[in-house]
Amino acid sequence: CRGRPSTPVTYLIVLPSVHPPSTERCLAGIAEPLKERLLLVDNSTLNRGLAASWNLGARIVLDQQLDWLVILSAATRFGPAGGEDFIALLDKYDPAATWVIESDAPVNQHLMAWARPMLDGVGLADENFWPVYGEDASFSRRVHVAQAEGWGGEWEKEPIDAWITMAGHATKLAGVVVDFDRTWTYYKDCWGGMSGEEKFARPFNDPDLPLSFWPRPPDPRAVEHEGWDR
């Protein structure tokens, strides 16, 4: 592991909420000091989507020049440490060299930290994936392309005292409907294949596009959905 400079770590936690009872149970297990740096994004009435929710936090991290954005799922439940064991890892890694810290199984990408240099390098989450699913795979693809090209930071996994109550809790408990045909058609158009089978090193196989690119309306490549501009 590459150590951080000896300056206090700064971070923001973003917690999208689409099923309030799940969110309340998640919040109940979070250590109080962490709640002071938590952005709760309420999608229970108007669903802006998971990617757009993450991006609300990402823009704050970029604007305020914070070190890390912590992505938290409302399906996550914490042990006695209340998530402070994960936050302690932010002091262990240098965000210039380590771009992603992911909680190891059984939580995985329900709890991650994104370094600000990663956001600077590969951009924000693709909001064409709405309301949920696909945004994490597209994000991972961009990080792995940057790594393959020799300028991307490391992706670390660490054991954390946490677990998830239900995979896909948003769709199962909150009744969020996902158009998977639309989602994966867009993914294949963007990356040339399904997750793990991608063929493109740049979005839409356009070498002039940066890794950070994703289309927004009225670009015809953008996916029409209800979450834009919420």
Mean pLDDT per segment of 10 residues, for the chain of length 230 residues?
68 97 97 97 95 98 98 96 97 97 89 98 97 96 97 97 88 91 97 97 98 97 91
As a whole number of Å, the CA-based R_g of the chain is 17
Strand partners, 72: 111
Q: What is the pLDDT of residue 167?
A: 79
Pairing between strand 68-72 and 76-78?
Answer: unpaired
Q: What pLDDT score was predicted for residue 170?
A: 82
The per-residue pLDDT for 4 is 54
Instruction: Give pTM, 2 decimals.
Output: 0.95
DSSP-derived pairing of the beta strands 38-42 and 76-78: unpaired
Closest by alpha carbon to 122, among 149, 102, 103, 101? 149
Reduce the DSSP state of residue 33 to 3 states and report it: helix
Q: Would you state the pLDDT for residue 2?
A: 52
List all residues 6 or more positions away from 108 whose beta carbon is below 8 Å from its beta carbon.
102
Q: Fill in the amino acid letter for 168.
A: G
Contact 41, 68 (CB under 8 A): no
CA–CA gap between residue 79 and residue 31 (Å, rounded): 10
Q: Under a CB-based contact definition with an 8 Å cutoff, are residues 135 and 125 in contact?
A: yes
Helix or strand holding residue 120 (H, E): helix 116-122
β-strand partners of 32: none
Give the model's pLDDT for residue 3.
Answer: 54
